[in-house]
């Protein structure tokens, strides 16, 4: 019982350690980014009037331009300058302007500004969350929490948006972005007054390298620091293999069913048949709930275990859905679809975690931007799925693709993903710098050089545990032994 309480206290301490004002503001901004995306998805999937347009293209171009500019700035300065809040401020202004256009019922212009804003917030927010993580292995949970808030914002936007009342929706989003702008300004004021410092990482090793301008060194320069050290082994680098192969598969697996119109239509029809009400937001709320569950699980379990377990569950549920599907009785699929969307949410943060942790420091933002572009591209490409008239064929093809991608992603995660630790340690392992296991320190009394001359046998010593890994060998075993020895010595003296 005491052990369970101790574990719960440790988990709560870890969770509280992830939160401070600067982090909370970034989490809130990611929720605001998801709110704009939820508006767009409601308009696209429900009102079906955005298919001829490519608003997402503007967001993709913006996030790529921002990432490239970020790379140039880091390359010139050779260190992180933590400009995230200035970029977030710009993203909030663009989102605020999109809300103003929505108030004037100009939805076309509004979506262009909204996509620019949400793209900027997405990139800057996740980059900051990654840098602010410490070396205790909590980075997956922090990234999962940020992803959960982003998806909660998406679900909220999907629930709120109503094309026939754009002014009300614009007023809500404008209020949200004004509050976020005020919080950003308050955070900057506290930074100026020296009350806190958000321009540093909680990873001490990363901070030291960043201050010495050594965080962006090429591989050869990093390897030179370990040449001649017997406690390290230098192997071939596999960083780009892990990043490209794993990042692409996990990102595609994340997007393959969430934006599928055939799955959304089946979910909506099964919901209407099962609960006798039309709840269009159900799949996105379930997905967001799965994201929250995933962030809680990662406080205790490793990403590999969570991904393996829920990936296998997802495969099983998709196969079960194909077995039970009936065009005339879609309500039979309701429970399976609920579990599928929740399971997808649990493992959805793995793609962001992979791109943020396994990418080279200089190109981290570009990798996240490419992942976001892939997500937008899949979302827009799925509109052609509606051209297929046969529902069963459409469902079967989408499910088989999801099964294939999920299976490959599970194998890649179990094979290639490194253990989460300090960003520098993860980089070194991916570069082929492996620390050799050292022999354990010998704590036995009779094996240490200092006591070899005494020639004492193990049965003559008494082990006294001072701490978890400290053992003191007492000699003589007890005070009675001392008395016995003195008595024997006295008898011997009397004989002489």
> Does pLDDT of 296 surpass 70?
yes
- Which residue did the predictor score with more confidence, 9 or 66? 66
Question: Hey, which of 13-22, 105-114, 130-139, 340-349 has the most confident mean pLDDT?
Answer: 340-349
- Burial of 407 from C-beta contacts in 10 A (0-12 / 13-18 / 19+): middle
Model confidence band, residue 11 (pLDDT cutoffs 50, 70, 90): low
Mean pLDDT score of the chain, rounded to an integer? 84
CB 109 within 8 A of CB 170: no
The pLDDT tens digits for 476-495 are 676 555 444 445 444 444 44
Q: Quick one: CA dihedral 201, 206, 210, 215, positive or negative?
A: negative
d(C-alpha 120, C-alpha 125), whole Å: 8
Model confidence band, residue 28 (pLDDT cutoffs 50, 70, 90): very high
The pLDDT tens digits for 401-433 are 999 999 999 999 999 888 888 888 888 888 888
d(C-alpha 344, C-alpha 98), whole Å: 30
Q: Tell me what pLDDT residue 383 has.
A: 77
d(C-alpha 295, C-alpha 275), whole Å: 29
Q: Tell me what pLDDT residue 60 has.
A: 92
d(C-alpha 18, C-alpha 27), whole Å: 11
Two structure tokens written together for 423: 């960003």
d(C-alpha 176, C-alpha 160), whole Å: 13
> Does pLDDT of 443 surpass 80?
no
Q: What is the CATH number of domain 17-435?
A: 1.20.1250.20
> Does pLDDT of 202 surpass 80?
yes
Mean pLDDT along residues 269-292: 90
Two structure tokens written together for 354: 């992979």
d(C-alpha 90, C-alpha 95), whole Å: 9
Model confidence band, residue 389 (pLDDT cutoffs 50, 70, 90): confident
Q: Tell me what pLDDT residue 455 has.
A: 59
d(C-alpha 319, C-alpha 339), whole Å: 13
Mean pLDDT along residues 20-49: 88
Q: Tell me what pLDDT residue 476 has.
A: 63
d(C-alpha 105, C-alpha 112), whole Å: 14
Mean pLDDT along residues 375-385: 84
Two structure tokens written together for 207: 């901070």
Name, in order, each residue with C-beta under 8 angstroms of 223's C-beta and a sequence gap of 6 or more: 234, 431, 433
> Does pLDDT of 467 surpass 80?
no
Q: Tell me what pLDDT residue 165 has.
A: 83
Model confidence band, residue 47 (pLDDT cutoffs 50, 70, 90): confident
The pLDDT tens digits for 224-262 are 888 877 778 888 888 899 999 999 999 999 988 888 888
The pLDDT tens digits for 87-115 are 999 999 999 999 999 998 888 889 999 99
Domains of the chain by residue range: 17-435, 445-495
Mean pLDDT along residues 160-175: 88
């Amino acid at each position: 019982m005491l052990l369970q309480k101790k574990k719960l206290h440790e988990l709560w301490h870890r969770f509280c350690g992830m939160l401070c004002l600067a982090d909370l503001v970034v989490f809130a901004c990611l929720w605001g980014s998801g709110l704009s995306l939820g508006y767009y998805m409601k308009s696209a999937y429900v009102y079906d009037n955005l298919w001829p347009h490519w608003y997402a293209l503007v967001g993709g171009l913006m996030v790529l331009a921002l990432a490239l500019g970020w790379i140039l700035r880091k390359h010139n300065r050779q260190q992180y300058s933590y400009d995230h809040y200035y970029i977030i401020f710009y993203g909030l202004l663009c989102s605020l302007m999109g809300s103003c256009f929505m108030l004037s019922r100009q939805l076309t212009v509004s979506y262009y500004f909204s996509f620019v804003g949400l793209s900027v917030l997405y990139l800057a927010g996740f980059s900051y969350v990654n840098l602010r993580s410490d070396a205790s292995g909590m980075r997956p949970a922090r990234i999962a929490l940020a992803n959960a808030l982003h998806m909660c914002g998406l679900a909220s936007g999907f629930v709120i948006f109503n094309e026939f009342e754009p002014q009300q929706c614009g007023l809500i989003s404008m209020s949200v972005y004004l509050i976020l702008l005020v919080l950003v300004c308050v955070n900057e004021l506290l930074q100026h007054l020296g009350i806190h410092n958000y321009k540093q990482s909680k990873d001490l090793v990363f901070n030291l390298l960043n201050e010495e301008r050594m965080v962006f060194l090429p591989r050869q320069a990093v390897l030179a620091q370990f040449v001649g050290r017997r406690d390290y082994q230098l192997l071939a680098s596999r960083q780009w293999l892990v990043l490209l192969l794993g990042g692409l598969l996990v990102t595609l697996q994340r997007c393959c069913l969430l934006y599928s119109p055939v799955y959304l239509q089946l979910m909506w029809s099964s919901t209407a048949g099962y609960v006798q009400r039309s709840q269009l937001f159900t799949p996105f709320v379930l997905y967001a709930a799965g994201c929250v569950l995933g962030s809680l699980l990662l406080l205790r379990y490793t990403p590999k275990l969570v991904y393996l377990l829920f990936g296998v569950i997802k495969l099983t549920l998709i196969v079960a859905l194909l077995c039970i599907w009936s065009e005339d009785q879609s309500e039979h699929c309701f429970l399976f679809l609920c579990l599928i969307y929740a399971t997808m949410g649990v493992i959805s943060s793995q793609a962001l975690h992979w791109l943020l942790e396994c990418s080279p420091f200089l190109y981290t933002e570009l990798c996240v931007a490419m992942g976001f572009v892939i997500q937008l591209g899949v979302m827009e490409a799925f509109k052609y799925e509606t051209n297929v008239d046969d529902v069963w064929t459409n469902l079967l093809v989408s499910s088989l693709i999801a099964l294939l991608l999920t299976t490959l992603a599970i194998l890649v995660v179990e094979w290639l993903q490194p253990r989460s630790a300090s960003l520098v340690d993860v980089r070194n392992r991916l570069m082929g710098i492996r620390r050799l296991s050292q022999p354990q320190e010998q704590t036995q009394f009779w094996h240490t050089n200092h006591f070899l001359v005494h020639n004492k046998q193990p049965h003559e010593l008494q082990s006294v545990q001072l701490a978890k890994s400290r053992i003191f060998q007492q000699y003589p075993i007890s005070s009675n032994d001392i008395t016995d020895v003195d008595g024997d010595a006295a008898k011997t003296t009397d004989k002489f």
